[in-house]
């Protein structure tokens, strides 16, 4: 069976999940790009903005493991529906915040929705893939995330420039409600003729084996996420202060780096990871990121910085489906929800503390050097991962 035939045979229910994921990605990218600037407009300093991301992200971090378990017990579809409802209300509430401190409540609500959505979504995708095609299937579904990121920040930035801050978050809230109609169509049952069923061999490795081998993968996620988040949420401030770009210009920067570049990495990651080895692809991608951060610190034009930052996100995106498929291969299906929850918790811890670290180290370019160091430290842990053959 070719990779193209596998794409055609994806269960119909995953098409609905694809749409829900595009809209969630759109709104997540809007939050990443504009939340710091919105807080700054209400008097927040870079350190305040780091605290805002830390406090609001903590809600998501604490819920990741429980959400992973709930996706196995309560049901993936129910969690996804609930997450879209919480996210829509939270996005709307951001338009009512009188000070930057009040933004913590709305941002926390959105991150709670994120915590409910991500483990359920990953678990649902894993149900419809086999060990042989898992990286490719995750790569296909992961394309939905950069698709939302391509247009989300640019559109939101244009809305803010022309209609004010509230317009961007009204847009985000309404589209989140639209995604609810697709979430309601999700079906956790395997569809007839899908040809994608869980293999018994995928669950043949005991929990003790998983814990001893995958710990290194979890640590890698913590370090690389911390590296990305030390720069990402505060970079809009740097772009405006260093290069004088508009909010739409900031949005374009993120659309091309976190959106377009990430999209390009998903399908090649699936094909290369399945064919030549997941660990080697993760290693090669991560090794390339650290020097790119150094080049970002040295970039003296908007365009040059964009080129280097596109490279960072393209390399990072290559690890998304690969690490997820590697994890699912190593855990029994009964423990999958918990394992996904632990993975996402490590990522969220990095996302929570990264902005505070970046705010403490500001002004730029010092955060770029810190991200390079954190990424480099993750490389030995990748070398300790053992891939199942």
Task: Take residue 81 and report the two structure tokens written for it.
Answer: 């529906």
pLDDT at 189: 54
Q: Which of 18, 248, 16 is nearest to 148 (CA)?
A: 18
What pLDDT does 203 receive? 42
Give the residue from 80, 72, 83 showing the smallest Cα distance to 17: 80
How confident is the model at residue 6, as a pLDDT?
47
All structural domains of the chain, each given as residue ranges with its CATH number in brackets, are: 13-188+201-383 (1.20.1250.20)
pLDDT at position 131: 66
Residues of the chain predicted below pLDDT 70: 1-13, 128-136, 188-213, 266-267, 269-270, 274, 388-389
Residue 331 Rama label (left phi>0; alpha psi -120 to 50; beta): beta
Query: What are the distances in angstroms from CA 276 to CA 144, 279, 281, 389?
Result: 24, 9, 8, 11
Q: Report how far residue 293's alpha carbon sits from residue 309's, in angstroms, rounded to the nearest whole number.
A: 8
Q: Are 179 and 20 in contact (CB under 8 A)?
A: yes
**Are the CB atoms for 115 and 63 separated by under 8 Å?**
yes
Alpha helices by DSSP H, 42-189: 46-73, 76-93, 103-127, 134-142, 144-163, 165-183
The span from the CA of 4 to the CA of 7, in Å, is: 5
Sequence-distant (≥ 6) Cβ neighbours of residue 119 within 8 angstroms: 64, 67, 68, 71, 79, 337, 340, 341, 344
pLDDT computed for residue 129 by the predictor: 67
Q: Specify the pLDDT at position 99.
A: 93
For residue 196, the model assigns a pLDDT of 39
Contacting residues for 310 by C-beta, under 8 A, at least 6 apart: 256, 257, 260, 261
- Give the Cα separation of 188 and 174 in Å (integer): 26
Which tens digits make up the pLDDT trace of 169-207? 999 999 999 999 998 888 765 443 333 334 434 344 444
Using the Cα atoms of residue 159, residue 106, residue 29 and residue 176 in order, give the sign of their dihedral.
Answer: negative
Ramachandran region, residue 186 (left: φ > 0; alpha: ψ -120 to 50; beta: rest):
beta
What pTM does this model have?
Answer: 0.76
Torsion of CA 215, 220, 223, 226, to 10 degrees: -100
In Å, how far are 165, 218, 268, 320, 356 from 347, measured between CA atoms? 29, 8, 23, 11, 15
pLDDT 10s digits, 69-79: 887 788 888 89
């Amino acid at each position: 069976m070719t990779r193209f035939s596998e794409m055609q045979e994806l269960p119909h229910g995953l098409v609905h999940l694809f749409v829900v994921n595009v809209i969630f990605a759109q709104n997540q990218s809007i939050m990443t790009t504009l939340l710091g600037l919105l807080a700054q407009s209400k008097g927040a300093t870079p350190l305040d903005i780091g605290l805002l991301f830390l406090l609001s992200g903590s809600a998501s971090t604490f819920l990741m493991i429980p959400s992973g378990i709930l996706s196995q017990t309560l049901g993936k579809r129910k969690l996804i529906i609930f997450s879209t409802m919480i996210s829509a209300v939270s996005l709307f509430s951001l338009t009512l915040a009188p000070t930057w401190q009040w933004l913590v409540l709305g941002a926390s609500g959105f991150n709670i929705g994120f915590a409910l959505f991500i483990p359920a979504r990953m678990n649902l995708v894993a149900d419809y893939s086999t060990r042989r095609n898992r990286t490719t299937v995750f790569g296909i579904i992961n394309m939905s995330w950069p698709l939302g990121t391509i247009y989300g920040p640019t559109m939101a930035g244009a809305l803010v420039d022309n209609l004010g801050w509230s317009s961007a978050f009204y847009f985000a809230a309404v589209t989140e409600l639209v995604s609810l109609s697709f979430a309601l169509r999700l079906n956790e049952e395997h569809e007839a003729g899908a040809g994608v069923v869980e293999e018994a061999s995928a669950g043949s490795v005991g929990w003790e084996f998983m814990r001893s081998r995958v710990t290194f993968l979890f640590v890698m996620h913590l370090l690389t996420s911390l590296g990305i988040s030390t720069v990402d949420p505060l970079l809009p401030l740097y772009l405006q202060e260093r290069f004088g770009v508009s909010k739409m210009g900031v949005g374009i920067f993120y659309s091309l780096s976190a959106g377009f570049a990430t999209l390009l990495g998903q399908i090649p990651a699936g094909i290369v990871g399945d064919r030549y080895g997941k660990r080697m692809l993760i290693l090669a991608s991560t090794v390339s990121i650290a020097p790119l951060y150094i080049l970002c610190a040295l970039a003296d034009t908007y365009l040059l910085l964009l080129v280097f930052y596109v490279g960072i996100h393209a390399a990072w995106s290559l690890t998304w489906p690969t690490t997820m498929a590697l994890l699912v291969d190593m855990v029994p299906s009964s423990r999958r929800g918990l394992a996904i929850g632990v993975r996402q918790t490590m990522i969220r811890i990095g996302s929570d503390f990264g902005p505070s670290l970046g705010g403490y180290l500001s002004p730029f370019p010092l955060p770029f050097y810190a991200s390079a160091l954190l990424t480099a430290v993750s490389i030995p842990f990748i070398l300790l991962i053992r891939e199942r053959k």
